Amino acid sequence: MDDRVPPANGAALQALCPDSLTFRVDSPLALAMESGATLSPVTIAYQTYGALNAGKSNALLICHALTGDQHVGNLHPVTGRGGWWETMVGPGRPFDTDRFFIICANVLGGCMGSTGPVSLNPDTGEPYGLDFPVVTIADMVRAQALLIDHLGIDTLFCVAGGSMGGMQVLQWASAYPQRVFAALPIATSARHSSQNIAFHEVGRQAIMADPDWRGGRYLTEHTLPSKGLAVARMAAHITYLSDSALHRRFGRNLQDRVARTFSFDADFQVESYLRHQGRIFVERFDPNSYLYLTRAMDYFDLAADFGGSLVNAFRGSPTRFCVVSFTSDWLFPTSDSRAIVRALNAGAASVSFVEIETDRGHDAFLLDIPELIETTRGFIDAAARARGLA
């Protein structure tokens, strides 16, 4: 059924305004997960923008990144800030809400209304915590497919997303090639690197080392590992930027002072910035969800399901692809995107590739980068003409 419910965000739940609501679909079907576990019931929280046409051929699914959610183009109910991809979603923008029916769902394992570790375990009546089964990117996409089925949509016009969202795009195109007309994976990879797994492990250990984590039972014990989660966010945020961007923005400038304090206060502007990022993240994200979603990214290896061959994951795909990378993205470097493009070409898929020059780092896909906006607009417009939506 569809209903209007507040997101189940654990720590941030009490901060929600009464009218800060989101759609949801509750599935009575048991979701078979890659770990061998089954999950039932399953709730998927989502937002939509624009209108579905009579032929249901203009649906565009946006997949969010690690710390994103379904609020891609609307005021966020917790932070009060605009949607995380407002540069791309809206009337006249590349994902034009006057032309397309935009869908964005909170991923399985998330903390903004979809079933995750903050949800109540029907067997105990308490939050799942670490009793929640480990989630993979494939599990997220299977849950999204339940939502798309519920909406009565057979084929998605386009699936788009960056970073972890790009992983979901690749999974959609591989698992459901006949249901994806066009795919736009941005700043992503077909498998997580050992370096990225290492960064995630640092973040997870920071959370689990916080005494308020309580073995993942902090909700039932009325604590919150806020310090650990903040440190995890600080460490991760460094990887989203580039050295050039950090130097241009902060350099070695001191924070509101003319001399060093010779202490461990935030003397430098960059220190103060990272501490601020950690504090505001705690207000909107659940620590256990952070553990689960980083692990999902770590496990992602699309070729592994096809005998180690990424070519076989896309062989004969009818989907048209546009793969985008950024020159200063060292988290998901251009070499990762080129590997995807080579596999698509070898599998006889239709693919275009754009490497955008910028010093904004991995986060460039979220920013107002003119070349990204024009690339996306051109790809979407061409696909719309081919789809008969122009």
- Give me the active site residues, please: 163, 329, 362
Q: Reduced to 3 states, what is the DSSP secondary structure of residue 195?
A: helix
110, amino acid identity: G
First to last CA, the chain: 33
Chain position carrying tokens 């705690």: 282
**Encoded tokens for 285:** 């994200």
For 134, residues 6+ apart whose C-beta sits below 8 A from its C-beta are 33, 35, 37, 292, 295, 296, 299
**Computed from CA positions of residues 43, 44, 47, 50, in that sequence, does the dihedral angle turn out positive or negative?**
negative
Is residue 290 packed enough to be buried (19+ CB in 10 Å), middle (13-18) or exposed (0-12)? buried
> What CA–CA distances, in Å, run from 77 to 7, 20, 67?
9, 5, 15
Geometric angle at alpha carbon 110, from 104 and 116, rounded to 5°: 130
Q: Which of 141, 108, 135 is CA-nearest to residue 296?
A: 135
Chain position carrying tokens 């654990």: 10
**Encoded tokens for 364:** 């460039």
Chain position carrying tokens 């903390």: 111
> What CA–CA distances, in Å, run from 362 to 25, 127, 353?
32, 33, 17
Q: Which of 42, 24, 46, 25 is CA-nearest to residue 33?
A: 42
DSSP code for 3? E
Geometric angle at alpha carbon 28, from 26 and 31, rounded to 5°: 95
Cα gap 204→210, rounded to integer Å:
10
Cα gap 214→126, rounded to integer Å:
15
